[in-house]
Copies of this chain bind each other. A is one copy, B any other.
Amino acid sequence: MNILIKNASVLTMDENAEIMEKASIAIENGKIKSIGMVEEDFKADKIIDGTNKLAMPGLVNSHTHIAMSLFRNYADDLPFWTWLFDRIIPSEENLIPEHVYWGSMLSIAEMIKFGVTSFADMYFFMDEVAKATAETGIRASLAIGITDSGDQQAKIKNTKEFYDNWHGKADGRITVMAGPHAPYSCNPEFLTKVIDMATEKRMGIHIHLSESKKEIEDSYNLRGKSPVKHVNDLGLFEVPTLAAHCVHLSDEDIEILAEKKVSIANNPGSNLKLGNGFARVEDMLKRGINVGLGTDGSASNNNLNMFEEINLAALINKGYTGVATSIPADVAVRMATLNGAKALGIDREVGTLEVGKKADIIMLDLNKPHFYPRYNLVASLAYSAQASDVETVIVDGKVLMENYELKTIDLEKVMFNAERCAKSLIKK
């Protein structure tokens, strides 16, 4: 279907993050055909009026566990290790594939409503997440989360099969990474096997890294070096890597991550909520590291609102460094769009609005008091906008939400089933 967006304010997220006023976007075969003026002979099957709306690249959630929405508001105001090992992991042992499917559907509904068009996920029963992704029309980089416990060979085999079954599927909307959970849950021998497998299959790796102070202390006690140095010594960064968190980094860690071109998923909301602290985002960006933004799972956030992460990134780094110019609005928005796309390895396809790229576009309704007066829309996005301002979402040239209404999801059915699954999952 050919779509024409007319008369919108358009933020392409080019280098200058400039706004084009009264601009059009033509979409053909899922791709952006033109931006600004549109050829007179473009035949649109559907015209979307962009008056008093902002069109921009869909947001990229670069680290999450979407099925964990089933644990939303279940274990809060707890320290990271208590939360993870006493509350979350024991509950996760009750998970069956159906839970993961409905938890995923709930989260995809929430993400589309909040303007997220791509996400990077790591969890169990990932076939269910892939099915939900394929059905709903969103874009995702998926990884089976694996640890060294149990049958390691079977886990490696599962990841290979998952890759063969899903990589490039759903019109290319699904890509697959390997998902070794973390250096503290994967011993060096197992990590090496995963690295070899990823190298052989030409897969990226999505891993948790340097999230809590305890992880760093344990790593020094066990190996005399930081988690970053440890996995680098194992050769992990020879594979394209998406490292989630990276809260506690030494200067040497930052050098390693920069040299090895590792992408970071910064998760400010989750890191604060679990008491893990503030990542050195300003230092990483200065050193040229690609830093995206993620929500982490809804069990530690407790939503999948990337506008909140943009706002947090723009605010807390100023507080943390004491420098009010740290992470200005355009940088925070770029972290949630182009940098995220780079982290997922899909920046040649999405992350900016450019002719030839896939049409992953969101539109915000600006006809609300918090968007007046109209000085600087990029600043608005970081400091004033609400995720609930997103009223239209297009992924791969298909309309997934229009006028706030989801087009590919039966929301009442999804909320009902998510509640039902959660009730059977957690025995009170």
Contact = CB atoms under 8 A, between A and B. Distances in A.
A300 to B, nearest CB: 9
A265 to B, nearest CB: 17
Contact of A322 (B275, B318, B323, B415): B275
A113 B269 CA distance: 25
Contacts of A326: 275
Interface stretch (A71-79, A135-143, A193-201, A355-363): A71-79
Contacts of A315: 269, 272-273, 312
Contact of A80 (B324, B373, B388): B324
A226 interface: no
B383 A303 contact: yes
Given A386-B386, A423-B373, A316 B76 contact: no
A278 interface: yes
A316 B316 contact: yes
A113 B316 contact: no
A323 B423 CA distance: 30
B369 A109 contact: yes
Interface string A316-342: 101101111110110000000000000
A70 interface: yes
Interface in A75-129: 76-80, 83, 106-107, 109-110, 113
Nearest to A308: B311
Contact of A76 (B110, B275, B379): B379
A382 B301 CA distance: 10
A380 interface: yes
A147 interface: no
A64 interface: no
A73 B369 contact: no
A303 B380 CA distance: 9
